[in-house]
Amino acid sequence: MSTALPSEFADEWRQTGTRRERGSIMVLSVVAETTLYEHRETATAMDDVDTTLSPRSLYRIDLEIHPPLSALGVTPEGVFSMAAGKAKGRFISMIESEGLLIDGERKVVSFDRGDGVAGKWYVFESRYPLATETSENAGNSSDSSSDTPGTGGENSLADGITTETHLAIWPAGNSYAMAGGTFPLEAPPGLESTFQVDPNADRETIAAFVRAMAEPTLEPEDDQQ
C-alpha cells in the first residue's frame, strides 16, 4: 500500500520514516507497518530537540493478519472490540518508543469510517519531553551542586510540553487500519511568540487525515460482508 501523503497534506507535511513490527495474537501473525509524518514548520522550530518524533505529527498504521480472519470463520467487525484493544496497546508501545509519553486515555468514542461501519477513536493525554539545558551540560560541570537532583547532575528530562494524541482504528477489508496524530497544547519555553498552538485546527487536520486514510478501505466487498 502506498505511503504517499494525500495531495492536500503534501505542502505542509512530509514523511519521516516507516517502521515494520511483527507480532502475534493467539494463532494469528500480525505485521504492523507504521508511517510517520511531521509538520514541516513545527519540525524546523524544534531542530534543537533530540527526538525522532515531532510534537505535531501524523501516523498511519497498516495491519496484515495471517491467516486471514475469514479462514477462521470470523470477520474484522465480529472481533473488533478485542482487536481494537490489542491494537491500541501496540500503538502506545510504538509511539512511546519514538519519544512521546502517554499519560493516560482521556476518552474513546465510536466513529463512522464513511459507510456505516463503526470504528473506535481514542484520545490520549500525552507529553513531548524536552531535554533540559542543565542535563545537557551536566557532564561539563565541575560544580559540586550539580549532584543535587534538579540542578543538572541528572540525565533527566523536563516535564516537556503537553500534547494531545489521537488514534482511530477501523475494520478494513479482511484486516484493520489505523491513523491518528499528535499536536501541542502549549509552546516550548522560549518559543511562545513564534510557535503555533491551535488545538482546534490540529483536531480538524487529524480528522481530515483519518478520513483520507479510511476512504481507500471502503471497498465494495466491505459493504457486502
This prediction's pTM: 0.83
| Exposed / middle / buried, residue 152 (Cβ in 10 Å: 0-12, 13-18, 19+) | buried
Right CATH for 7-129+163-224 from 3.30.2020, 1.10.3470, 3.40.50, 3.40.1000: 3.40.1000
Residues 6+ apart with CB under 8 A from 69: 28, 75, 76, 79, 174, 175
User: Residue 127 above 60 pLDDT?
Assistant: yes
For residue 222, the model assigns a pLDDT of 43
- Convert the pLDDT of each residue in 149-177 to its tens digit: 333 434 344 578 999 999 999 999 889 99
- Convert the pLDDT of each residue in 51-89 to its tens digit: 678 999 999 999 999 988 888 888 999 999 988 999 999
Helix (H) or strand (E) holding 221: helix 220-224
